[in-house]
Structure formats: C-alpha cells, structure tokens
Chains A and B, each alone.
Chain A
C-alpha cells in the first residue's frame, strides 16, 4: 500500500543510507536509527465551518422508515422469541425446584431415621436410668376407666379413639 511515509522513503533512502553508515562507523555501539524516523509530518488546518448540510426531507423519511421497520422487526422477533425464552427460564426454575424438592425429601427421610434412632426404647431407657428414674410399681399404675357420662377429658378421648 502506498503511504506518504513509504513514498517519501523512496526519496530518502539514498540520502539516509550513507548517513547511517557514517554513524555506524563513527560509533558502533549506537543504536541504528528506526526507518523513516527522520520524516516529519505537518498538520494542515482546514476550516469547514462555512459548509452547511442541505435539508433532505426524503432521506429523513427514509431514515425514520428504516428505524420504524427495524423496530417493528425487532418487536416481531422479540414477540416470537419471548415465549420460548420464558419457557427456558421457567424450565431452569422448574428443574431447580425439582432438585430442591428431591433434596428436601431425602433430607426428610434422613431426619426421620434420626428421629427413630433418638426414640429407640433402648436409648430412652438408658436416659431414664441416667436421670435416676424408676419403673412404676404395679400398684402405682392406675388404668383410667373411661366413662362418657362423667364428662370428657382429653386423655379419655384419646384413649377411647385408640380403642
């Protein structure tokens, strides 16, 4: 590609080479110059303030038409894609909830096993012994006689249900 620098370089190459060689000979430890480092560019100031863009209603209409068309297309696209996106999002949520449900069910089973272990008669008896509790003597055990005519007591109601 033809650039200013490379074009200029063509002319400068001949003059630069002997200079480089001379520098190299005078001091071999100096870095060699970079290519085109001796070329300088000058900025030219251009004032376009006097230029005025001519109003073009037709192109403006076309522009708005295009914007409108794109928006309409986007709306159609979003409307058509939205249900499936919502479906996928809901799918994520459903899956997460399913996993959570399964995790909770598993946890419940584990807790039920723990509860059963804690309620084991052997353990309860040991705890009672540790608390220095004793089994009631036979004459200390009184079986309540259920009689509906004597009014209702919570205990009696439960016992009646059991029977």
Chain B
C-alpha cells in the first residue's frame, strides 16, 4: 500500500499534468483556430497592411507634327483630396491648405464643412485637382497624413493656339472633346494599370507585381507642319482683322499625297484652357471642315473642268457673255457685260454668264456627276469630328434654275477642305486623292509606322487637268485676271477667286456680306501645294476674293514653298504695280432663284429648262505657239502673220491666249504674257 504522501504527490502531479495539457490544448486550439480556421481572414488583414495597390500610369498618346514637334502631350500630375470626416479641425485644415494651393481660405472652409455634413460624399473631397509640381512638393513637405494624393494626368498643348482646331482638346478626364483628340480618341486614350506592392512597416516597397497592365495610348504624327500652320494662322488673323470678316479658314495641302500641311480657322482658342464666358461658339469649331458655305466663283473651276472633259469646248472656244434671258429672268454679269469671251477668259474674268453658258452646255446630269466625282456632297474622311459633307442636291431635286446657279457655285455648299481636295485634282493631273491628317502612328511598344494613303482614283484626263492649270494660271497671270494679287515672287501660281453673297435664312434673302475665297496651287508646272483661303462675312468690293483672299494665298504659299524648300521656277520679281486696275469683281450672281438656295423644294416651279446655247464656232487665222520666244520675235512673227497681239510683262513668252493652234476670232487679239 502506497503512503499517503505519495498518493498525494501522484494526485497533485496528475492534476498539474492535466492542467498543463489543458493549457497546451487551449494554446494549440487557439493557434489552430487562428492559423487554420481564420487563416483567410487574417491573411487578408495582413495583406491589407502589407500590400499597397499602386496605380501604374497609362498616359494618353502624344501628338506630333510632321517634323516631330510636340503638339500635345500628357504629363503626370498630382491631385489632392482629404477625408473631411477624419479631419480634426476644419479651420486648421483650411488654414494649412489654402495658402499652399493658392485657394480662397473661406471658400475652402465652406467646402470642407459642407462635405463633412454631406453623407453622399462618403468621406471624400477633392481639394484641388492637377496641382503644379511646386505645390505638390510644398504640400508633401508638410508630412501630414490626412493630405492624400492621387496620380492623374494633365494634357499639355505646348504650342497653345497652333493647330488648335485640328488637334482639339480634352476634358478633365482626358477624354477628347474636339479635333483629332475626339476623332481618334479610342487610339489616343490610355488607361492606367495597377500594381500590387509589398511594403514594410515604413511603407517602403519590397516587391511589386503588375496586376493590371496599363494601356498606353498610341502616338500620332500628323501631316501638319507647324511652321506652315503658324504662317497660315498668322496671315489669316491679319486678313480677318483687315477685312473685318467674321471668320476665316486656310487649308494647305500636298496635292500628290493628300497630306494636309496646315488647316487654320479663325477665331481660334487655346486648348489648354476650358471655354471662357463670352467666347464665340465658332472659336472652337474647325470651320475648314465643319462650316460649309456657298463657294461662288471658285466653283467655276469644276464647271469648266467638266466642260473640258465632257464637251467639245476648249479654252479658246468663244462664248457670248452678254446678258441672257432664262426662266423669264434677265441674267447678266455682276457688274457689266463682257461681250464674247473665250472659255479661258470666262475663268480669268470670272464671267457668270459664261459659266452658266458652259454649265448649260455640259448639262445637269454630267455636271451633277462630275461635281460628285470632285468629292462635293460627301465627307472627305479625315477623321475629324463634326465634319460636314457640304450640300449637293440629288439630281431629281434640282430646280430648273439650278443649272444656272450650280455652275457658278450657288445652290451648293462646300467646306474649305472639299475645295482643297477638288483643287488637288487639277494640280496633280486628274487624280482624286483623299486628304489625310495622320502621317504615322506608333502603337505602344512598337516602332513608328507610316499610315498608307488611299489609292488615288482618276476622275479627269491628265490633259484636262493640264488645260485647267493653264487657264487657272491665266486668272493670276493675265492683267485682267481677278486673281492677280495671288502672284508669287519666284514661283508660278494658278488659282481662282470667289465671292459669294451670304444668304440670310431669317430674312430669306441674300445679304451684302460675302464669302470671299481663293483656291490655287504653286508652282504651276509641278504643284507642291494647294492653298484654299476663305473669309466669311466680308463687305464691299474690298471684301471680294481677289482683294481679300488672294493676298492671303500669296503670303501663305510663299512661306510654305520656302519651308518645303521648293525650287523657284521663275525669276524673282516684285508684284507688278503699274498695271492698269483690273476688274476684280467676281461676284457670283446669287439671286437667280427665289427660294433659299440650300433648302429643299416641296414644289419645284414648273419652268422647263431652256435649250442650251451652242458655243459659237469662230473662223479666222490659227495662232502660232509663242511660248519661249522673246518679245521681239513674237512681234515679228505676229506681224508677219497679220495677227494683232497684246503684250504684257518682260522676258520670254510664258503664256498666250488663245492657245497655240486655236483660231483667232475676228476683232480679237492674241494676248501674250511674258516673264523672266
């Protein structure tokens, strides 16, 4: 039998062991509970403490000009926010934040107070978005935990006004809201990614893992040349101020590739700023593509090109350009009757009656067909938003008087870009080439790639285009041409002026203000550029295309040709000043039709179209080719043949009307233009 002391010891030991076992069981039980059953919960808590989700910026793509000059770039910036419910004293917070962020202290305090009371805010208030680096540095140096920062991106347009309408702008979320920024928003837009960063107790990163790949926007290189764009905008502004026009546009285009070298609209805007109060709505509208207008006489180029293509009319074909009676109306020139004119002179003098005669010879079906072929009534497809296709009525909606209006650029509306596209057809030898704005694009992580141009389509014969070039050169070169002010120093140029009365839809009548325009190209033999200038809302004869728009063509074209390093093709000379004053009245007759020209007609007037007049066929001596001859040689040869000649300029013969081989009508002279 065991002693009582031993029994007691055994009992005590047993109890002690039991207690220890219980204790150990409890400890291990708790450990098992924490480590196994609550593992997920505590792992998440630990992860929340140790792992930070950091935003990885996905910047919006940059936009460059054709020479690599940055036109739009995004730069990362900080935005400041606080949780108002966690702030101790709103007074102190406002006192600290307002001076650093250059905010009004009282307004900030009011915002903080209302944000704290407002349950919808859920403890979040932007103090200031997109702060400057200096402000961020100053704020961070305060080391206040309740001031929190959010990475954002700020779009910069370092050239401010240059190409503002083409590039457009973005909203505060960096989404495009106009221009290329909107048109190609899907390509340009970037999206921020996220990375999980494992941090230590001091919040220093130990390792990171990309959980959401950032999407970097595509970089774009535009066809725009910022130097030509700058010159175009500068000269356009001067012209608008000088002529007191309301708005204006300039488009400079390469006729062979369709690359738009400059596209200016006035008034303009700074895309770095949001719209201000009192800013005209047109300031942010790209008028060159979004504001169609009745082109007026510049459209005669299309009419004449169609005539050359589809009829037997030639530059020396004589047309009676007096008054004519159509649809019980007497149609006459804007100023005075010219009498018989050659087709070339119809263009040079911008004869309305002549253009109508030619239009009627062409016929409305062919005219409509070729107007469509030249790209009118349809968008050019540059990718710019809010582009207008202009207005060209369906053939079955033409009223009888339309055949008189359309040939001289009424009852049709076009944009400046469409005119540039049409003029390029003449300049490049008859090919329709689509205008384009994007030269290259660089997708993230890839090399810069050229954007291929669409294949050009031939719409008129090369010889038609060359003849038109020659006739358009006459507009600029001939002493009575309406576009004399578009002559360039050292370069040959060709073009056409236009002046169209503006229709007032409210008053339902044409007003005394004009759309002055000029479209042309240079050099004539191998055109490097097409330039279209429009000034909207000019007044008086000084507001016609010749005096108002042609000088803008001259300055812009000179600058562009110099920038593009195009070799000169004629000797340098100052513009002639001693020439007799030419009639620059190229106003297209606007009021041929009573109804508004661009409204649809429910009941077209029952007036049948008049039979088209036949072009007169003149008889007389054939004109020799004087081109390349000196003045003395021309006089001698003309005298030998008994031809009356009219000589102009100095140097060698560069152009003559009528063309070589044509018949000189009785009473007419051979006009020869000389140049060095």
Residues of A near B206 (CB, < 8 A) are 88, 91-92, 95
User: What would 4 more interface pairs be, CB under 8 Å, given A113-B73, A141-B490?
Assistant: A99-B205, A109-B74, A116-B70, A138-B490
Residues of B near A102 (CB, < 8 A) are 57
Q: Once the chains are docked, how many angstroms separate the CA of A96 from the CA of B206?
A: 9
Q: Once the chains are docked, how many angstroms separate the CA of A162 from the CA of B69?
A: 16
Residues of B near A112 (CB, < 8 A) are 70, 73
Q: Once the chains are docked, how many angstroms separate the CA of A112 from the CA of B159?
A: 12
In the complex, A121 has a CB within 8 A of chain B? yes
> With contacts A112-B73, A113-B70, A139-B572 known, is A95 near B490, CB below 8 A?
no
Q: Is the interface of A mostly helix, strand, loop or mixed?
A: helix
Find the residue from B158, B160, B162 having the highest chain A CB count within 10 A.
B158
B75 x A106 contact (CB < 8 A): yes
From B248-256, B304-312, B559-567, the one touching the partner chain is: B559-567
Contact with A along B656-671 (1 / 0, CB 8 A): 0000000000000000
Q: In angstroms, how far is the closest chain A Cβ from the Cβ of B73?
A: 5
Q: Once the chains are docked, how many angstroms separate the CA of A120 from the CA of B562?
A: 19
B161 x A122 contact (CB < 8 A): yes
Residues of A near B301 (CB, < 8 A) are none
Contact with A along B204-233 (1 / 0, CB 8 A): 111110000000000000000011001000
With beta carbons under 8 angstroms apart, the residue of A94, A109, A115, A121 that contacts B59 is: A109
A122 x B230 contact (CB < 8 A): yes
A113 x B156 contact (CB < 8 A): yes
In the complex, B558 has a CB within 8 A of chain A? yes
Which residues of chain B in 237-268 are interfacial with respect to chain A, using CB atoms and an 8 Å cutoff? Answer: none
A98 x B158 contact (CB < 8 A): no
B160 x A120 contact (CB < 8 A): yes
Q: Once the chains are docked, how many angstroms separate the CA of A116 from the CA of B159?
A: 7
B572 x A138 contact (CB < 8 A): yes
Nearest-neighbor residue (CB-CB) of B490 within chain A: A138
The chain B residues found within 8 Å of chain A, CB to CB, are 57, 59, 69-71, 73-76, 133, 156, 158-162, 197-198, 204-208, 226-227, 230, 489-490, 558, 562, 565-568, 572
B75 x A109 contact (CB < 8 A): yes
Q: Once the chains are docked, how many angstroms separate the CA of A22 from the CA of B205?
A: 74
Find the residue from A99, A109, A112, A119 having the highest chain B CB count within 10 A.
A109
> With contacts A109-B76, A116-B73, A138-B490 known, is A143 near B158, CB below 8 A?
no
Q: Once the chains are docked, how many angstroms separate the CA of A142 from the CA of B105?
A: 62
With beta carbons under 8 angstroms apart, the residue of A110, A119, A122 that contacts B133 is: A110
In the complex, A66 has a CB within 8 A of chain B? no
Q: In angstroms, how far is the closest chain A Cβ from the Cβ of B62?
A: 8
With beta carbons under 8 angstroms apart, the residue of A99, A122, A138 that contacts B160 is: A122
With beta carbons under 8 angstroms apart, the residue of B59, B74, B158, B204 that contacts A95 is: B204
10 tightest CB-CB pairs across the interface, nearest first?
Answer: A95-B205, A116-B158, A116-B70, A121-B230, A138-B489, A139-B572, A91-B207, A91-B206, A117-B158, A113-B156
Nearest-neighbor residue (CB-CB) of A145 within chain B: B567
Residues of A near B75 (CB, < 8 A) are 106, 109-110, 113
Q: Once the chains are docked, how many angstroms separate the CA of A141 from the CA of B73?
A: 35
The chain A residues found within 8 Å of chain B, CB to CB, are 88, 91-92, 94-96, 98-99, 102, 106, 109-110, 112-117, 119-122, 125, 138-139, 141, 143, 145, 159, 162
Q: In angstroms, how far is the closest chain A Cβ from the Cβ of B225?
A: 10
Q: Once the chains are docked, how many angstroms separate the CA of A125 from the CA of B75?
A: 27
Nearest-neighbor residue (CB-CB) of A99 within chain B: B205
Residues of B near A141 (CB, < 8 A) are 490, 562
Nearest-neighbor residue (CB-CB) of B195 within chain A: A98
A121 x B567 contact (CB < 8 A): no
Residues of B near A92 (CB, < 8 A) are 204-206
> With contacts A88-B206, A113-B70 known, is A95 near B76, CB below 8 A?
no
Nearest-neighbor residue (CB-CB) of B205 within chain A: A95
> With contacts A88-B206, A116-B69, A143-B565 known, is A95 near B197, CB below 8 A?
yes
A sample of 29 inter-chain contacts (CB < 8 A) reads A91-B205, A92-B204, A92-B206, A95-B197, A95-B206, A95-B208, A98-B208, A99-B205, A106-B76, A109-B76, A112-B73, A114-B158, A116-B70, A117-B159, A119-B69, A120-B160, A120-B162, A121-B162, A121-B226, A122-B160, A125-B230, A138-B558, A138-B572, A139-B489, A139-B572, A141-B490, A141-B562, A143-B567, A159-B565
Nearest-neighbor residue (CB-CB) of A110 within chain B: B75
Q: Once the chains are docked, how many angstroms separate the CA of A143 from the CA of B491?
A: 12
Residues of A near B158 (CB, < 8 A) are 113-114, 116-117, 120
Q: Once the chains are docked, how many angstroms separate the CA of A162 from the CA of B565?
A: 10
Q: In angstroms, how far is the closest chain A Cβ from the Cβ of B491?
A: 9
Q: In angstroms, how far is the closest chain A Cβ from the Cβ of B133?
A: 7
Residues of B near A122 (CB, < 8 A) are 159-162, 230
Q: Once the chains are docked, how many angstroms separate the CA of A110 from the CA of B566?
A: 36
Residues of B near A94 (CB, < 8 A) are 207
Residues of A near B160 (CB, < 8 A) are 120, 122
Q: Once the chains are docked, how many angstroms separate the CA of A119 from the CA of B70?
A: 10
Q: In angstroms, how far is the closest chain A Cβ from the Cβ of B608?
A: 55
Nearest-neighbor residue (CB-CB) of A140 within chain B: B572
Q: Once the chains are docked, how many angstroms separate the CA of A4 from the CA of B562?
A: 113
Nearest-neighbor residue (CB-CB) of A122 within chain B: B230
Find the residue from B75, B566, B568 having the highest chain A CB count within 10 A.
B75
Residues of A near B208 (CB, < 8 A) are 95, 98
Q: In angstroms, how far is the closest chain B Cβ from the Cβ of A108?
A: 10
Q: In angstroms, how far is the closest chain B Cβ from the Cβ of A100?
A: 12
Residues of A near B197 (CB, < 8 A) are 95
